[in-house]
Amino acid sequence: MSGFEGSYLGANDRISPAAVMECKICWTPYDPAQGDDFRQILPGTAFVDLPGDWCCPNCDAPKNQFMVLSDPGNRMDDQVARLVSDFEDVWHSKMRDVPLSNRALHVEAVGFRLHEGRPLGVLVAPWFMNLVMLPAESEDWSALVSGAKEDIGFPSGDYEFLHNVRPMVGGYKACSLFSPMNDFSSQLQAVEVARAVMLALFDEANRAETDRGAEIRAAREAELAPPPLPDTDPSRRAVITAGLAAD
């Protein structure tokens, strides 16, 4: 699976030197192991090290119109793949017949990118949608204490993450966005909301004047209280999506 969706757009921190890229206009690949004879680019030249004026040798499309075809050196791809596989196992072994699961949905990783060296994105599953942070290449989170809480800051505010450890994934941190997932009628709808979350998360315009971490904690405390009247339940989904989820 690719580490990011869409075009390259100069995202040097999201591909490794071994990344094989492909022009999305004419599907011509650039393999760093082969270089580019047409432009006299030597074998072993990474895509990120190509001259700024380099373009597709077949159709002259600029570098920003290239997509990741494969990236064997991208550790994030492997981490995200293991995350998805781990929760697919949970779905098939434990959650498939649980009433709160939405059988119109499946496990999918959405919008993963490197944030301060750590893979960050949204994991969609039939029974939840979480913002998930994975460890950087130099970090070992295997000793995280499951259930421990940590506030992590983003341009839009501070959010409460829970620590967890899974057999295939190892240690990771997750911020709950939706659970259960009954409001979603399709996988496409869930993925669109997940993508909106990733955009809103890094938008300073969504920063509230109040403490976002406190808002999340208050929402969790409210969940433990007796069920409120309809339409009065504090919604975690509005914390990041700023009402997008309601749409």
Band the pLDDT of 187: cuts 50, 70, 90.
very high
Q: Which of 17-31, 64-78, 164-178 has the lowest mean pLDDT?
A: 64-78
Model's pTM, two decimal places? Answer: 0.62
Predicted local confidence at residue 84, as pLDDT: 94
The CATH number, out of the four listed (1.20.1090.10, 3.40.640.10, 3.30.1460.40, 1.10.760.10), of the domain defined by the range 75-246: 3.30.1460.40
By the 10 Å C-beta count (0-12 exposed, 13-18 middle, 19+ buried), 247 is classed as: exposed
Reply yes or no: is the peptide bond before residue 228 cis, omega within 30 of 0.
Answer: no
Query: Residue 220 — very low, low, confident or very high, per pLDDT cuts 50/70/90?
Result: low
What are the tens digits of pLDDT across the range 85-129? 999 999 999 999 999 999 999 999 998 888 888 899 999 999 999
Which pLDDT value is given to residue 105? 97
What is the predicted pLDDT for the residue at 34?
93
pLDDT at 242 over 60: no
Q: What are the extents of the domains in the chain?
A: 1-72, 75-246
Class of domain 1-72: mainly beta
What is the mean predicted confidence (pLDDT) over 147-161? Answer: 94
